[in-house]
Amino acid sequence: MEFQADNTTDGYILEILPRENELVRPPIANIDIAILVFSATEPSFSTNLADRFLVAIEKEDITPVICISKMDIASKSEQEVVKEVKEVYEAAGYEIFLTNEQVSKEALLELVNGRVAVIAGQSGVGKSTLLNRLNPELTLSTAEISNALGRGRHTTRHVELLPIGDGFIADTPGFSSIDYDDLSPENLQFCFPEIEDRRAGCKFRGCLHENEPACAVKTAVAENEIARFRYEDYLQILTELKNRKPRY
């Protein structure tokens, strides 16, 4: 949307631009990049939650970038887990940053330049902290993890475009549930790059890579070419989609 504002309370809509993509939660459209923030600890990194976020982004044809925060305070075992899954996601084609590394700041700024990005993730993983680091003038409020709930307290209340470098990042409230109302079981495989890359090798054209024989995806899992946790997350989401009750 293009608009003209002569003051802080009044303005005019000049043109409504085409909508290329959109997210429902958070409510935002026409995004170039989605920066998905997870933490190595407090709360601990969850590959299942990461894969669910990735599916929500992939189905909208938005480029996802994964950031994992709090590596500096994570235990040795938590750090090892993150390093292992980092290799898996990078092999699948995802760009992933450990955000306590100085190099990640410059790389993220370069990614955002000239683009509109959205930052999303659970509450308490450090989204506002990351934005403050990218643009110290923002001084966004942050909050500690709730010991009782084991997750972060909401510090962002609404979606807001923030200037970061030569681009914009939409800060969003944290959320922990994701819906796939417009995703069919047949199209889920396109949200997992390593599965999509191997689907042509399956014997049956409509293979869902579940119980079908001569499935190239299942062979790749057995030969450790596809990470088992990624395949299991795919099957879990696939089952949910197949069992989903229709909405009218």
Residues near 161 by Cβ (< 8 Å), separated by ≥ 6? 116, 168, 169, 170
* Residue numbers belonging to the annotated binding site: 69-72, 121-129, 202, 207, 209, 215
Indicate the class that CATH gives domain 185-242.
Answer: mainly alpha
The yes-or-no verdict on residue 155 having pLDDT over 60 is no
**Distance of alpha carbon 151 from alpha carbon 177, whole angstroms:** 14
pTM, two decimal places? 0.85
Per-residue pLDDT at 206:
93
Structure-token match 């997210």, residue found: 23
Confidence of residue 2 (pLDDT cuts 50, 70, 90): confident
User: Which residues sit in the known binding site for GTP?
Assistant: 69-72, 121-129
Q: How confident is the model at residue 153 (pLDDT cuts 50, 70, 90)?
A: very low
Q: Which amino acid is at 136?
A: P
Binding residues for Zn(2+): 202, 207, 209, 215
Residue 8 pLDDT level (bands cut at 50, 70, 90): confident
**What would the mean pLDDT of 108-121 be, rounded to a whole number?**
91
What CA–CA distance (Å, rounded) separates 91 from 9?
49
The owner of tokens 């062979």 is: 219
What confidence tier does 176 reach under pLDDT thresholds 50, 70, 90? very low
Q: Give the chain's radius of gyration (CA, Å).
A: 19
Question: 60, 22 in Cβ contact below 8 A?
Answer: yes
Q: What is the mean pLDDT of residues 104-117?
A: 90
- Strand pairing class (33-39; 28-29): unpaired
Q: Is the per-residue pLDDT at 140 higher than 50?
A: yes
What is the pLDDT, as a whole number, of residue 103?
A: 60
Domain ranges of the chain: 2-171, 185-242
Alpha-carbon span 104 to 84, nearest angstrom: 18
Q: Does the domain made of 2-171 have the CATH classification 3.40.50.300?
A: yes
